[in-house]
């Protein structure tokens, strides 16, 4: 039995969290995809991937810093 009295086991701990954090993983994945597709169009897929990765990591860091 995982729940007692209709409450989840983690319910009490999760209810006490003051803030919710944001995730930037979608921004990272999107930037990598856009960079790779742009790189394929320009016939430089590896460079496009690396540029997309760099831009995505910067966006990820900004989201992390803002939600911190």
Residue 14 has pLDDT above 60, yes or no: no
pLDDT at 53: 97
Structural domain spans, the chain: 20-67
Q: How does the average pLDDT of the chain come out, rounded? A: 83
Report the pLDDT averaged over residues 48-60: 96
| SS3 assignment for the chain | CCCECCECCCHHHHHCCCCCCCCCHHHHHHHHHHHHHHHHHCCCHHHHHHHHHHHHHHHHHHHHHHHC
Residue 34 has pLDDT above 60, yes or no: yes
Residue 15 has pLDDT above 70, yes or no: no
Spatial distance between the Cα atoms of 50 and 68, rounded to a whole number of angstroms: 27
Residue 62 has pLDDT above 70, yes or no: yes
Helix axes 25-41, 45-67, angle to 10 degrees: 160
Q: Please report which confidence band the pLDDT of residue 24 belongs to, taking 50, 70 and 90 as the band edges.
A: confident
């Amino acid at each position: 039995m995982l729940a007692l009295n209709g409450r989840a086991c983690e319910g009490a701990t999760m209810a006490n969290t003051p803030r919710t954090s944001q995730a930037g993983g979608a921004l990272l994945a999107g930037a990598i995809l856009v960079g790779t597709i742009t790189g394929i169009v320009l016939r430089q897929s590896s460079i496009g991937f690396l540029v997309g990765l760099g831009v995505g990591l910067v966006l990820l860091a900004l989201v992390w810093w803002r939600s911190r």
